Chain A
Amino acid sequence: MIEPTPLQVTLETVRFWAIVALLGLGVFFTLVSTIGVLRLPDIYARAHTASQTDTLGAGFALAGVALAFGWQHAAVYTVLLLFFVFITNPTAAHAIARSAAETGVEPILAEEGEPDDSTAETEGETR
């Protein structure tokens, strides 16, 4: 068996930590998104943050997976996977928001001009 050269060892280490970092970022954004879903006041606001999981959460995680696979066929699948997630995610978010609007869910809106805390006042009327 051929001994790996020092450069190869370094590259492997870099790759390993890059994978760890990417997966860590993916987990971080998924966590933030979960916190957001729990903290935000209404369905519209929650739909914003739910899309974070799919964009950066899944994005970083899949980037990590692609790096772990290395330069082979399976890496192409992860790119395709990400592509389809990027198409379906906004479609689903829009469907949720629109059906909420259609069933007459009132959005919780801040007063115009001044920033508001979680005690946002409700504006608008029931349809």
Chain B
Amino acid sequence: MAVERLLVPLSDTVTVRQTVGYAVQSGLERADSLECHLVVALPYDDDVPESARQHEDADDLLSRARNWVEEDAGEADVTIETATLGTDEYLFGPRDYAEIFDAYAAENDLDRVVLDPEYEPGVTARILQPLERELDRIGLAYDEAPVERSTRRGRLTGSEDFDRLFATFMISYGFYLVLGDPTYWFDLVTGAAVAGIVAISLARVTFSVPLDRVQSPIRVVRFALYIPYLLWEIVKANIAVSAVILRPSMPIEPTLTQVDSRVRSGLPLTALANSITLTPGTLTVRATDQRLLVHTLIPAAREDLFDGGLERGIRFVFYGRESAAIPSPRERDDAEIVGGDEL
């Protein structure tokens, strides 16, 4: 009895459902029984801040896809295997993906890859075309699922994208003119051209979260207010650390602490982790979801960290004044000293 073995890489797109449907249908047309391998390839190593959520999303997608296959297969003989790829290596470009799919296909003796035309495995842009080129190079057979996509086109011309383009354009144009001469026509023209190219190519990378026309500018203003506070904290911490270093006895007390921060992943968490690192005496070693592993050098810096001044500052920047007034990590039991084996 002929068995068709398929590899279906999944990502959370509008066409993923149709791709799975096509895979099952085409597989059953070619042979009477089907072995369907559903895989999710995770883009980076598994230690990025959002990793736990990415894994959950991947598992969720796989279980949904499993249901779809069962639904579409009906009475036919279909075996379903699911896997998460790329958890133990870095996947950056299409070549890495092609190679990891090839390795998986060779391992499980698979015949063919069914690709989702919108395949977007968490990297910044769609990689279908380069991925197909790499698969050609490697010699792994693939098949692009014929799907209808109407929703996608609507999304591309939305006002969200205009906002992103506009914001990226203005930022790069402004930066260009600060470096150049805003009164010289040549700089104005070349700046507009450069900013246009930057905006078109990088708008979706620069702003991964949709902008809000009211909130985003307010955040910029609040961030400008946050900077003096951060500078003041840096000066204070610098003096404290300098005093400790210059004392002949050097009374340092290095500890590893774990703080569960109450800020969203992405930019707010990056801003918080960077602010913590920027302040001498505290150093962010790891960030897993909202959990920061912070190395502290002196007790005073640790106390400041547990009092959560910077966290309030970041909450003020991103969520406003009301949200800033939350209990400190110490009070809400989110801060603790951990041993070295937590690394």
Which chain A residues have a beta carbon within 8 Å of chain B's beta carbons?
29, 32, 35-36, 39-42, 44-45, 47-49, 51-52, 55-56, 59, 73, 76-77, 80, 86-87, 89-91, 93-94, 97-98, 100-102, 104, 106-110, 112, 115-118, 120, 122-125, 127
Contact = CB atoms under 8 A, between A and B. Distances in A.
Interface in B172-195: 178-179, 181
A22 B283 CA distance: 26
Contacts of B281: 48
Nearest to B243: A32
B274 A94 contact: yes
A96 B235 CA distance: 23
- What interface size band does chain B fall in? 35 or more
Contacts of B250: 39-40, 117-118
A118 B241 CA distance: 15
A102 B48 CA distance: 13
Given A47-B283, A97-B283, 16 more contacts: A36-B241, A48-B241, A48-B295, A55-B234, A56-B238, A59-B231, A76-B178, A89-B277, A94-B277, A102-B47, A106-B340, A107-B343, A110-B255, A115-B251, A117-B251, A127-B341
21 contacts: A29-B242, A32-B246, A44-B254, A44-B285, A48-B241, A49-B245, A49-B280, A55-B234, A90-B276, A93-B277, A93-B283, A94-B283, A94-B285, A97-B295, A101-B293, A102-B47, A107-B340, A110-B253, A110-B255, A124-B342, A125-B341
Given A87-B274, A91-B274, A115-B299, A108 B254 contact: yes
Nearest to B301: A48
A80 B342 CA distance: 38
A32 B245 contact: yes
Contacts of A86: 278
Contact of A124 (B246, B274, B277, B343): B343
B278 to A, nearest CB: 5
A36 B277 CA distance: 16
Nearest to A80: B178
Given A98-B285, A124-B341, A107 B280 contact: no
A46 B44 CA distance: 28
Contact of A55 (B252, B256, B278, B295): B278
A118 B276 CA distance: 24
Interface centre among B254, B286, B293 (most CB of A within 10 A): B254
A45 B297 CA distance: 6
Contacts of A108: 254
Contacts, number: 138
A116 B255 CA distance: 11
A94 B284 CA distance: 6
Given A76-B178, A101-B285, A52 B280 contact: yes
Interface of B: 47, 178-179, 181, 231, 234-235, 238, 241-242, 245-246, 249-256, 273-278, 280-286, 293, 295, 297, 299, 337, 339-343
A94 B292 CA distance: 12
Contacts of B256: 107, 109
A115 to B, nearest CB: 5
A33 B79 CA distance: 62
Given A39-B245, A107-B256, A127-B343, A29 B285 contact: no
A109 B285 contact: no
Nearest to A44: B295
Interface centre among A89, A109, A120 (most CB of B within 10 A): A109
A101 to B, nearest CB: 4
Interface centre among A89, A93, A104 (most CB of B within 10 A): A93
B249 A117 contact: yes
A77 to B, nearest CB: 8
A55 B282 CA distance: 13
Given A112-B337, A124-B341, A124-B343, A51 B252 contact: no
Given A52-B238, A101-B285, A108-B254, A36 B337 contact: no
